[in-house]
């Protein structure tokens, strides 16, 4: 196989491409396309093209609740055992009587694949394939017997079909067979006229009957030649060009209702697309996609490293300076979010929408102890607020199903969510107590909802979500109890996901009042108080919240100078567990600060050092954000280097990045892509600390660059340029009226408006920072003092709709 020189030049001219000089041999080398509802993985094999396909609502099982009453008698006993230090016995009882008695959630499932086979195309030259994330299309090119062949593939945002255009440099050269298959039982393809059809039903799992009915149809629109179909195989013979249209639909309406006619829906999409040519469909597709994607850009510079295929660049990233690969990875994260989380659809699951199995790892569900929330860290920050909507809709649905679980399992008001859910919005604890005995999922969901308000300042939206937040808070008011060993009000039983502690035999996770729980509930309670004042004043409820906050424990600093993960000083400096749950207070929350809580800041840093850098892919993505919040850009960049470590087919352990740039847990989890994309933005701009902090964690290697179109809390759209590691130009468009505080190391000059030196508290309510209790510090701890650069702070009174430009010197 020889790569044409012209393709190297093309890669340089259009840097927002993942490109390769060979076909994908395995799934983790195939390239992802998606329109929120439909997903396709493109393999690019000349002789047998495979498009592995997904539809976002093909899940096993059917509407159900996994709440049960057996827990009512068990919870008091489990609490008593925990208070007595009998953690192993408590966990065994929780496994038996609190974990789900019915099912552990349903898996997200693949539809199957479409294959396009070309006789004689196994001997090819001049091979090239790419994924263009600037226009959300994939291309495959190669030469056979002097004829240049090209395939262009997209998952049409407007027309809701997968479209594949086949062309050749000479007329009459498109001859191939098209066939569909599916791993489900009783899904043999059949012909309906000249169309190929597959119909099936989602799997029955753990006694939950599969009731998601689906249908897929493939049709061909040809220029020249002929098209026939027999026994589900479409044959194209001697065409000048041909376009495949693939439609998939299910009977899914929502998490309660499965009564749409999937066959009619599938035909409707196909029949609407068939009269259009590929270019019409592509134009609509690109216009829709780019109105989101083009909002933000990142330029960290270019060099000759970008001339190599993408998999080689990833392989060499830790050994060579390739700044454009970081820009590409950042934009790839934004591309993936647009492609798998569209308004009106389902939120991105553990694999986005890309899954080739009936029983994928972790069932590809929604893991709520970080992974599902992590998927949405870039949403507001990188100017993709609309992509957040499916997650917000899921929160509304979980607040309904979680209310039943709270009452049935714990006799509590409000609503509860444990560590996992699925398309049926189950909210009971699943799997085993080691991970499932964690019930603060609702609090983390509400933190995400609150963050969207801080970015938008939309009080109508806040009024809409306030009942969800209040319901989550009501549950904890009813469920939390005083721990007799500490006299603090805490959640018990619970855990610090998904880590074991030193109590008992050293193998239990179940505990009382873990640090992460305390941080999550502190955020929930304080945000509910603020939201109530703004949209639904309720003095009686506020009084209960304030009383509960006063009884909750402060964060603690242990004997190893670490932020304690548990109320007891159990942390082991040699523990390098992938979860760093107790650092939630540093990121994504803002309870821990170099400016406000220096002791906690240093303790959090020490905890992160103990955990080490290299881990699973998503964990390294989280750590990029954490080191950015610790204001250490060089360490954050080192984590990006660890994340952009090539994981190959023969590697069995360790995280990083697959050749197709998807995150390797391993196996594939999409949250690492989203987490790292957010972390790159956090290195360049932060807004959680009462100000817009410019270049808070800029690595020395990113000497010059720009980022444009990112969003700060308070409703500010930021364009930022820097030279010699200092701000050179700043442009801010204000969406809301209010004081904007700016923080940076070098001086800043206003262009045609008033700017003053900042003094005292920032009056902008969207910039307010929390006041946490003074930490309890072990007598054995010896914390260093935080050393901060000398920052400049400026205040500007901004008006909605106005743009303000500044220059650095």
pLDDT band at 398 (very low <50, low <70, confident <90, very high): very high
C-alpha distance across the termini of the chain, in Å: 52
pLDDT recorded at residue 155: 98
**What is the Cα–Cα distance from 166 to 221, expressed in whole angstroms?**
10
What pLDDT band is residue 2 in, cutting at 50, 70 and 90?
A: very low
**Six-digit token string for 469:** 């937040």
HSE-CB for 64 with a 13 A CA cutoff: 24
Minimal CA–CA distance to 447: which of 512, 521, 390, 336? 521
d(CA 191, CA 176): 17
pLDDT at residue 3 tops 50? no
Contact between 767 and 690 (Cβ < 8 Å): yes
Q: How many Å separate Cα 109 from the centre of its chain? A: 19
pTM score, two decimals? 0.97
**Residue 432: both structure tokens together:** 């085993």
- Other beta carbons within 10 Å of 771: 9
Q: In which band, very low, low, confident or very high, does the pLDDT at 515 lie, cut at 50, 70 and 90?
A: very high
Instruction: Give the containing element (helix H, strand E) for 729.
Output: strand 726-734
The encoded tokens of residue 270 equal 């196909």
How much is the average pLDDT of 769-793?
A: 95
The rounded distance, in Å, linking the Cα atoms of 511 and 492 is 7
Is the per-residue pLDDT at 218 higher than 80? Answer: yes
User: Which pair of tokens denotes residue 380?
Assistant: 């507001």
* pLDDT per position as a tens digit, 154-166: 999 999 999 999 9
The C-alpha atoms of residue 381 and residue 687 are separated, in whole angstroms, by: 10
**pLDDT at 1 exceeding the cut of 90:** no
Q: How many alpha carbons fall within 13 Å on the CB side of residue 147?
A: 19
629-642 pLDDT per residue, tens: 999 999 999 999 99
Instruction: Average the pLDDT over 85-97 and give the result.
Output: 97
Which position has the token pair 């969003």?
Answer: 711
Q: Is it the case that residue 695 has pLDDT exceeding 70?
A: yes
Q: Dig out the tokens for 309 from the structure.
A: 């295929």
pLDDT over threshold 80, residue 103: yes
Distance CA(255)–CA(664), nearest Å, equals: 30
Mean pLDDT of 321-333: 97
* pLDDT tens sequence across 43-71: 999 999 999 999 999 999 999 999 999 99
pLDDT band at 15 (very low <50, low <70, confident <90, very high): confident
- pLDDT, mean over the chain: 96
Q: Would you call the peptide bond into 588 cis, given omega within 30 degrees of 0 as the criterion? A: yes
Mean pLDDT across the stretch 324-350?
98
Q: Which CATH number fits domain 5-61+111-266: 2.70.98.50, 3.40.50.2000, 3.40.50.970, 3.20.20.70?
A: 2.70.98.50
Percent of the chain with pLDDT over 70: 98
Q: What average pLDDT does the segment 151-176 reach? A: 98
> Is residue 8 pLDDT above 70, yes or no?
no
Would you state the pLDDT for residue 14? 66
Q: What is the 3-state secondary structure (H, E, C) of 389-449?
A: HHHHHHHHHHHHHHHHHHHHHHCCCCCCECCEECCCCCCCCCCCHHHHCCCEHHHHHHHHH
Longest dimension (CA), the chain: 84
SS3 295: coil
Assess whether pLDDT exceeds 60 at residue 365.
yes
Note the pLDDT of residue 809: 85
Is the per-residue pLDDT at 664 higher than 50?
yes
Rounded to an integer, the average pLDDT of 300-326 is 96
pLDDT confidence of 97, banded at 50, 70, 90? very high
Give me the mean pLDDT over the 583-599 stretch. 97
Residue among 41, 19, 49, 212 nearest 118 (CA) = 49
pLDDT of residue 652: 72
| pLDDT for position 13 | 57
Q: How is 630-675 classified by DSSP, letter by letter? A: TT-HHHHHHHHHHHTPBP-TT--S--EE-TTS-EESSSB-THHHHH
* CA gap 281, 262 in Å, rounded: 23
């Amino acid at each position: 196989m020889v790569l044409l020189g012209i393709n190297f030049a093309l890669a340089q001219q259009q840097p927002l491409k993942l490109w390769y000089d060979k076909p994908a041999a395995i799934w983790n080398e195939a390239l992802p396309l998606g329109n929120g509802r439909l997903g396709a993985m493109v393999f690019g094999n000349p002789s047998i093209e495979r498009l592995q396909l997904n539809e976002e609502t093909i899940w096993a099982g059917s509407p159900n609740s996994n709440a049960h009453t057996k827990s009512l008698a068990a919870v008091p006993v489990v609490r008593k055992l925990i208070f007595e230090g009998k953690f192993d016995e408590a966990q065994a009882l929780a496994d038996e009587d609190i974990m789900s008695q019915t099912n552990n959630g349903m898996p997200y499932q693949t539809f199957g694949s479409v294959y396009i086979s070309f006789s004689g195309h196994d001997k090819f030259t001049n091979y090239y394939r790419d994924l263009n994330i600037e226009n959300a299309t994939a291309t495959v090119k190669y030469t056979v017997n002097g004829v240049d062949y090209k395939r262009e593939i997209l998952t049409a945002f407007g027309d809701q079909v997968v479209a594949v255009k086949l062309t050749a440099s000479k007329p009459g050269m498109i001859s191939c067979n098209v066939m569909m298959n599916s791993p489900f039982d009783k899904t043999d393809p059949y012909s309906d006229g000249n169309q190929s059809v597959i119909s099936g039903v989602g799997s029955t799992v753990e006694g939950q009957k599969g009731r998601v009915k689906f249908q897929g149809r493939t049709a061909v629109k040809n220029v020249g030649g002929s098209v026939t179909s027999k026994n589900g195989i479409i044959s194209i013979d001697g065409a000048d060009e041909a376009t495949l249209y693939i439609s998939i639909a299910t009977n899914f309406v929502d998490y309660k209702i499965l009564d749409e006619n999937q066959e009619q829906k599938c035909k409707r999409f196909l029949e609407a697309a068939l009269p259009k040519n590929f270019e019409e469909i592509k134009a609509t597709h690109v216009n829709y996609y780019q109105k989101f994607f083009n909002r933000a850009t990142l330029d960290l510079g270019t060099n000759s490293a970008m001339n190599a295929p993408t998999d080689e660049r990833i392989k060499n990233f830790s050994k060579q300076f390739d700044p454009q690969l970081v820009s590409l990875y950042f934009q790839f994260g934004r591309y993936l979010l647009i492609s798998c989380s569209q308004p009106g659809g389902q939120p991105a699951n553990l694999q986005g929408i890309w899954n080739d199995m009936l029983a994928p790892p972790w069932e590809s569900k929604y893991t709520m102890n970080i992974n599902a929330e992590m998927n949405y860290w870039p949403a507001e920050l990188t100017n993709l607020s609309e992509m957040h909507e499916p997650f917000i809709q899921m929160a509304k649905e979980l607040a309904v199903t979680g209310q039943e679980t709270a009452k049935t399992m714990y006799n509590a008001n409000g609503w509860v969510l444990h560590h996992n859910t699925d398309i049926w919005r189950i909210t009971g604890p699943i799997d085993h107590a080691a991970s499932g005995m964690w019930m603060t999922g609702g609090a983390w969901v509400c933190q995400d909802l609150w963050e969207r308000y801080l970015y938008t300042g939309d009080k109508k939206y806040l009024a809409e979500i306030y009942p969800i937040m209040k319901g989550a808070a009501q549950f904890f008011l009813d469920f939390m109890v005083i721990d007799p060993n500490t006299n603090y009000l805490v959640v018990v039983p619970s855990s610090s996901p998904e880590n074991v502690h030193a109590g008992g035999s050293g193998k239990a996770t179940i505990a009382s009042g873990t640090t992460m729980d305390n941080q999550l509930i502190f955020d929930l309670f304080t945000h509910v108080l603020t939201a109530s004042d703004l949209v639904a004043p309720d003095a009686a409820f506020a009084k209960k919240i304030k009383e509960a906050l006063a009884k909750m424990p402060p964060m603690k600093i242990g004997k190893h100078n670490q932020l304690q993960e548990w109320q007891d000083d159990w942390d082991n400096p040699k523990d390098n567990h992938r979860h760093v749950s107790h650092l939630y207070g540093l990121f994504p929350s803002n309870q821990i600060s170099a400016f406000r809580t220096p002791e906690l800041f240093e303790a959090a840093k020490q905890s992160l050092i103990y955990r080490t850098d290299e881990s699973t892919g998503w964990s390294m993505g989280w750590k990029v954000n954490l080191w950015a919040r610790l204001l250490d850009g060089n360490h954050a960049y080192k984590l990006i280097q660890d994340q952009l470590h090539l994981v190959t087919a023969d590697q069995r352990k360790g995280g990083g990045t697959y050749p197709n740039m998807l995150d390797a847990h391993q196996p594939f989890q999409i949250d690492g892509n989203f987490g790292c994309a957010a972390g790159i933005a956090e290195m360049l701009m932060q807004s959680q600390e009462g100000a817009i902090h410019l270049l808070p964690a800029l690595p020395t290697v990113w000497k010059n660059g720009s980022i444009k179109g990112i969003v700060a809390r308070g409703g500010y759209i930021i364009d930022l340029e820097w030279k010699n590691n200092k701000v050179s130009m700043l442009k801010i468009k204000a969406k809301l009226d209010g004081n904007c505080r700016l923080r940076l190391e070098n001086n800043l000059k206003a262009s045609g408006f008033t700017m003053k030196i900042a003094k005292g508290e920032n009056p902008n309510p969207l910039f307010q920072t929390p006041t946490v209790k003074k930490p309890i510090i072990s007598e054995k701890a010896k914390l260093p003092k935080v050393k901060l650069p000398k920052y400049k702070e400026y205040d500007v009174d901004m008006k909605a709709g106005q743009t303000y430009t500044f220059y650095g010197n």
